[in-house]
Chain A
């Protein structure tokens, strides 16, 4: 009860004190405002990055390792990798035979080519040579029509499955099935359309711009190893848990296929989702570090500013403190009054910060990546700003609370 009355009185006093010095309060809150904008934007950006990442690389699969000439994330100098022999379809076939019953092996080759249907062209389509096993690795199946069949691959047929954006840009409302499109100078028949998947952030692929063709046809037309294009071999483990063991088996089999001696290093790379996750975590780490550093510094500076203003406020109102003490205010009441005032200034800063961060988020959402502020982050921002205020207010408030009433009353 008593505490409640104190709080109400504290609120009344601090609001009137702040209103009497609006400009000062606003300036003081600036540091807090920047800090809150920083903390919200950091969290929102981190969230946005996480979502985008998940979307972009969901197709990579958590139970798949990829054998490639190059690592996805370069650890060493590029020149150390570039003398490696290219991987070809024979090696893929060999690996498939060696791992039979233990894993699904699917080779892919890709390149960018324009695709055309009548007068419509998509310049930057990603043409992927693959096999019928693709759907077992990625588990994405066509929305319309069918995927590749073994005979498409075996007979090097000129058929293709197109991504959703390709379909949209080439065909609009027309049904693309059984239509013929140009890939480069060659005519392929559309036998399937993939569902819309999105992607394309983080340098990840845009799945909707992909066109799948039989890998054999691809090799015949555009060349595999000889034309300077790498084959990537996807190896899918039966379960996610089996992936770690499978990785070692794959390395062993590849070394056997390539007849590497024990002393020789691998001349191929094993890639998997973890590689990307690690890279992503590094990016995220930097984002968080920078964001939190900016947050921390501005909240600290803001807090010091508030503390400073509170010292001024306490000194200016020494006489008021004397009056209040003379008529019976306890230390705690005075303490609360000033802590409350500091808290309100910071809360005001927090609210303005939230507003600015919200605008900034709208901007990020419109330009960089999908972003939104979650209620949890708003709550966190409010808590942080109040906490900064309370901490910044404690020392000045304590100074005010322990004033001697007579001296305070005598203060001019």
Chain B
């Protein structure tokens, strides 16, 4: 087992993402909330990262910044070598569309749309022609084992199945990173374990995965665990052998 602090590392090429000195401050009336107080972090391709930490420590905020749903108050963020800290709304939307796949705790599927339509939605916004869209969506649905449910509505599915649909939707656009904020938070432990199996498979197939969790047994699926506390990285522990060189030499 090895561990390292990455706080001072400069963003480097070849990383999937490189965050440096990111601060996120929410202003609420006269008070300011420092959700992130200077986070630096490099994550390479095909990493499998768990972000942990107490409630309110800034995990979701960090995920939102990584996922380009939010922009940092200060600091830089390079995603696949491109600076994304000062892009417009629509440019961020395009980045989310092409490079990020989200999996949410509450699934966030469109209730009136069937599985197929939900899964092909990112491709709709990417401008993929209908036939290709359909084909890729069906492939993604098959990959999460829901081939026979393509025409069901979300409310006709179990929680675990809904989360699979969400994973298929996250996959379908071939994103650089899959982000999952407490993906098993609304599932029982057995179903949660099945979902984690799915993430493991995706990781094995070469996907970069970052997930937020409170549970150690979920985090244990990841190869690297980052702990946040009060908006700062408290620890960054890499386990396993699949971590590439260049983002934190083993030490301690």
Contact = CB atoms under 8 A, between A and B. Distances in A.
B112 A9 contact: no
B96 A333 contact: no
Nearest to B121: A327
Given A325-B93, A327-B96, A328-B96, A409 B125 contact: no
Nearest to B91: A330
Interface stretch (B72-80, B97-105, B136-144, B208-216): B97-105
A5 B109 CA distance: 20
A324 B109 CA distance: 9
Chain A, interface residues (CB within 8 Å), range: 20 to 34
A5 B93 contact: no
A17 B112 CA distance: 8
Interface in B84-142: 89-90, 93-94, 96-98, 102, 104, 108-110, 112-113, 117, 121-122, 124-130
B69 interface: yes
Contact of A406 (B70, B93, B128, B130): B70
B37 interface: no
Contact of B94 (A20, A319, A330, A402): A330
Most buried by B among A2, A9, A327: A327
B69 A16 contact: no
Given A2-B127, A406-B64, A406-B70, A328 B108 contact: no
Most buried by B among A5, A319, A322, A409: A5
Contacts, number: 69
B162 interface: no
B59 interface: no
B90 A330 contact: yes
A402 B117 CA distance: 24
B124 A326 contact: no
B100 to A, nearest CB: 8
A400 interface: no
Contacts of B130: 5, 8
Contacts of A326: 67, 69, 96, 102, 108
A9 B104 contact: no
A332 B94 CA distance: 12
Chain B, interface residues (CB within 8 Å), range: 20 to 34
A363 interface: no
A320 B110 contact: yes
A328 B110 contact: no
A83 to B, nearest CB: 81
Contacts of A409: 69, 104, 108
B127 A5 contact: yes
Main DSSP-derived SS at the A contact region: helix
Contacts of A327: 96-97, 102, 121-122, 125, 169
A87 B66 CA distance: 100
Contacts of B94: 328, 330
Interface string A1-40: 1100110110010001100100000000000000000000
B93 A20 contact: no
B123 to A, nearest CB: 9
A146 B113 CA distance: 80
A319 B104 CA distance: 13
Contact of A1 (B108, B109, B127): B127
A319 B108 contact: yes
A145 to B, nearest CB: 75
Nearest to A332: B90
A409 B69 CA distance: 10
Contacts of B98: 328
Contacts of A12: 117
Contacts of B126: 328
A244 B116 CA distance: 78
Interface in A237-268: none
Contacts of B67: 326
Contacts of A2: 127
A110 B130 CA distance: 78
Closest 7 CB pairs of A and B: A328-B97, A2-B127, A328-B125, A330-B90, A327-B122, A330-B93, A323-B108
Interface of B: 64, 67, 69-70, 89-90, 93-94, 96-98, 102, 104, 108-110, 112-113, 117, 121-122, 124-130, 169, 173
17 contacts: A1-B129, A5-B124, A5-B127, A5-B130, A12-B117, A323-B109, A327-B102, A327-B121, A328-B93, A328-B98, A328-B173, A329-B97, A330-B90, A333-B125, A406-B64, A409-B69, A409-B108
Given A328-B125, A330-B93, 4 more contacts: A1-B129, A16-B112, A333-B125, A406-B69
